[in-house]
Chains A and B, each alone.
Chain A
Amino acid sequence: MLEDLKNRERPFKVPDGYFASVEDGVREAINQPVKGGRLFLSTVRSGFALAFSFLLIFGIGYGVMSVTDSFTSTGFGADDDALSTLIEGGYIRHDFVDYLYEEIELDGDFLAQDIELDEEFSQKIEEGLTEDDLIEIMEEYEDE
């Protein structure tokens, strides 16, 4: 089904004459004066946003560690991934966890850990996977 969808025409329309007007729009945007005050405010705002993001990430991390400790001490999900437990229990939304991972920008090694690849496949990821490798990995993952 997914392969059939790929071959279909794009389901988006564009207003008539739009692409011809892009040049004028860009020229107008380029000729807008840059305001120093706004630039300063934007920089300060970015600084606060960054500080807030760190607080949020560390706050969630501390919360996860606290909750995980109480789970493992009561034997609940002692061998389970702590985040999966929290997501399934409705304590954290899965898309927020995805957002955090994206912000931390974990690399390919993280992806290997996420699906519990053994050393052989971790090595293959570094070398470059073939389509057959990926199918094999995902079948193993789905069977777990």
Chain B
Amino acid sequence: MFDDKDILDIYQEGGREEYAFNLLVRKYSERLYWHIRQLVLDHEQTNDLLQNTLVKAWRYLPDFRGDSKLFTWLYKIATNETLTYLKKERLRSFLSLSDDSSRVGEMLMADEQFCGDKVQIELYKEINKLPPKQRTVFTMRYFDEMKYEDMAEILGGSVGSLKASYHHAYSKIKKNLEEKF
């Protein structure tokens, strides 16, 4: 597997941009996919957001200056795409007066690509209740065990505020799950 420096060197050589980009896609698409999927849950929507992310990466790769790691840069694009989608969905849900968390439960139970049990369904329902940005903070820390410093680079904000946001979400979810089980 090529490292980031090799991929960028090939890209900058001239005439091999597409090959370099394919290496980037092969190296990182699966990690990006799971980051998005943990947030949106549905495979088809995840695929759309992943495609959007990679198309944007292709478009903006000429401007990538290497100030951050290549994966951090890609992760940031994926996170922004996903957050934009989640915020639109949240507003749509509010305007339609629908109960989002029961919709999530029904969706997961009906989804052939979901193989979790009742407890996991409840966990995702609780995560889904969080505001989009807090949901992202929680998912990145809880599932991906990302360092707060890396999270701050991707999401913005201070390490302290991200820690507080995560802990607040963690306590809320823990309390609600313990009440149910």
Contacts and interface: CB of A to CB of B under 8 A. Distances in A.
Interface of A: 1-2, 5-6, 8, 10-15, 18-19, 22-23, 25-27, 29-30, 93, 95-96, 98-99, 101-103, 105, 107-108, 111-112, 115, 124-129, 134-135, 137-138, 142
User: Shortest 4 CB-CB distances between A and B: which pairs?
Assistant: A11-B116, A108-B161, A125-B160, A98-B131
Interface size class, chain B: 35 or more
Contact of B164 (A12, A18, A111): A111
Interface of B is mostly: helix
8 contacts: A1-B181, A2-B123, A6-B143, A11-B117, A15-B113, A30-B58, A115-B168, A135-B167
B177 A2 contact: yes
B114 A13 contact: yes
Contacts of B143: 6
A93 B58 contact: no
B74 to A, nearest CB: 12
B3 interface: no
Given A13-B112, A18-B47, A115-B168, 19 more contacts: A1-B177, A2-B123, A2-B170, A11-B117, A12-B41, A14-B43, A22-B50, A26-B55, A30-B58, A95-B131, A102-B132, A107-B161, A111-B168, A112-B164, A115-B164, A125-B158, A135-B167, A137-B164, A137-B167
A2 B173 contact: yes
A12 B120 CA distance: 11
Interface of B: 18, 22, 25-26, 29-30, 33-34, 37, 41, 43, 47, 50-51, 54-55, 58, 87, 90-91, 93-94, 100, 112-117, 119-120, 123, 129-134, 142-143, 157-161, 163-165, 167-168, 170-171, 173-174, 177-178, 181
Interface of A is mostly: helix
Given A30-B55, A99-B94, A111 B165 contact: yes
A106 to B, nearest CB: 9
